[in-house]
Amino acid sequence: MNPEQIGFALLYLGVFLLIGKIIRLKVKVLQNLFLPSSIIGGFVALLVGPQVLGKIMTQFVGEDHFLASGIMTGTIIEVWSALPGLMINVVFASLFLGATMPKLRDIWEFGGPQLSLGWAIGWGQYVIGLLVAIFILTPFFDIPAMAGALIEVAFEGGHGTAAGMASTFEELGFEEAFDLAIGLATVGVLSGVVFGIILINWGVRRGKTKIIKDVNGFSELRKQGIMEYQNREPAGKMTTRPESIEPLSFHLAIVMLAILIGWLILQGLIGLEAITITNWTGSSFMKYIPLFPIAMFGGIILQVFFSKKDKYNLVDRRMINRIQGLALDVLIITAIATVSLDVIGEYLVPFLILAVAGISWNLFGFLTLAPKIIPDYWFERGIGDFGQSMGVTATGLLLMRIVDPNNESPAFEAFGYKQLVYEPFLGGGLVTALSVPFIVQFGAVPSLIFAIIMVIIGILSGLFYFGKGKHMKS
């Protein structure tokens, strides 16, 4: 593979992102589902690649014909296959860069109930997944127990986390888990929006919502994914002069440095483990940990530094968001385009079981736990956690925007505070990264017991502390 082939593979990304955007503009159903163009473009690339178009054309032109791999050459697929694992590091390194750290009291009062609910739902996905693995997947389908982590990895973590865990799955001997996780993440995003809209309509009719009393929906431009003219704001601030360093280049360099710091930390942990635990017991754990959650801590370290030393406010959160968004688009489109349909077809029944189990638990968490844990505006606040638990944070924000279009409730503030504590652990954080090696190292039953304890902590703290409003008292 030469540089020109790699460059050509990257050019294809732009083509399929634009195709996805055009389809989003033209197809009403996709607009109503608020599907990102990256997901649409990824599916188009999958269809015209070797797994669909290629297999169809092979029946007519033979395996040696250039259309035997569709219009996606083997080189393009090879390059795209490597991109999700790289881009997830950018996404997580950017999480806290440029963000203002709020007061601990505000995090506790506003984000506490959200954290308790999210904690219960997130750990509950492990409980449900491990129960399915122990009683169904392993005995009947001979699937490793680590599959019990797939619901949380795919639903809470989304496409990015699923892609970031690919190397871990491969090293632990279950590389098919990557394709299953990407498939589950796609199901999560789709069902998150569909069930979210259904829940909102139900909530409005039953009087569960406090802000809106009827569902008018978004504007046509919003559904098409086009920013309304009156809402068009700068994508970022020019915090440096271009003749000195291009602002985008500066912010990209900061993200790269965060990833490098994370890599150095991870290598240090692996080395420390090698001369201690591995030397004493012969077992190793840290080498299975992917880089992306540690890159997040690299970003936190840099943000703490800038908060104390940067008197010029050089790091602009909006610019960081644009870099993060680009990385996420690239990640999603390449992950979906390169997912193995053969693997999903081979594991179709286990795949469906995991999907149904995960969706059912998330619905239970929202409908049963949220009203009891969140003391006020439970629907407006809880729908955000439901959306996140089904796919990605953007899904939760989308659903909250529907039920609270003018930000009249504490939903967005509480959700943001909760993320500061939640993201480093669940939903792609350290717990998510450690979960699969932990299950392999200690077994499914001990992992299940530990997850149950975590769920109980989340539910009890929610019901008897946050749900009763005790955290609001001075």
Residue 109 lies in a domain: yes
Share of the chain above pLDDT 90, in %: 41
266 and 174 fall within a common domain: yes
- Indicate the DSSP class of residue 95: S
Among 17, 45, 72, identify where a domain stops.
72
160 and 297 fall within a common domain: yes
151 and 267 fall within a common domain: yes
From residue 304, give the alpha-carbon distance in Å to each of 98, 205, 464.
10, 46, 34
Residue 473 has pLDDT above 70, yes or no: no
25 and 97 fall within a common domain: no
63 and 117 fall within a common domain: no
Question: What's the predicted TM-score (pTM) here?
Answer: 0.80
19 and 135 fall within a common domain: no
Among 72, 107, 122, identify where a domain stops.
72
Structure tokens at 252: 């990209």
From residue 123, give the alpha-carbon distance in Å to each of 128, 188, 296, 300.
9, 17, 21, 24
Amino acid (1-letter code) at residue 450: F
Q: Which domain holds residue 305?
A: 83-214+244-474
253 and 275 fall within a common domain: yes
Residue range 371-378: average pLDDT? 90
Query: What does the pLDDT look like over 126-161, one tens digit per residue?
Result: 999 999 999 999 999 999 999 999 999 999 888 878
Amino acid (1-letter code) at residue 212: I
190 and 295 fall within a common domain: yes
Contact 337, 42 (CB under 8 A): yes
Residue that wins the pLDDT comparison between 214 and 107: 107
Alpha-carbon gap, residue 190 to 174, rounded angstroms? 26
50 and 125 fall within a common domain: no
Structure tokens at 66: 């250039």
* Residue carrying structure tokens 């919502």: 209
294 and 322 fall within a common domain: yes
Residue 223 lies in a domain: no
- Mean pLDDT computed over every residue of the chain: 87
Residue 417 lies in a domain: yes
Among 72, 91, 123, identify where a domain stops.
72
57 and 201 fall within a common domain: no
Query: What does the pLDDT look like over 202-255, one tens digit per residue?
Result: 998 888 888 876 655 566 776 677 777 777 788 888 999 999 999 999 999 999
Share of the chain above pLDDT 70, in %: 95
Residue 219 lies in a domain: no
Residue 451 lies in a domain: yes
Alpha-carbon gap, residue 433 to 437, rounded angstroms? 8
Number of domains in the chain: 2
Residue 77 lies in a domain: no
Alpha-carbon gap, residue 182 to 165, rounded angstroms? 10
What is the rounded end-to-end Cα distance, in angstroms, of the chain?
Answer: 64
Residue 449 lies in a domain: yes
CA 65 distance to own-chain centroid: 38
273 and 422 fall within a common domain: yes
Residue 125 lies in a domain: yes
SS (H, E, C) 306-371: HHHHCCCCCCCHHHHHHHHHHHHHHHHHHHHHCCCHHHHHHCHHHHHHHHHHHHHHHHHHHHHHHH
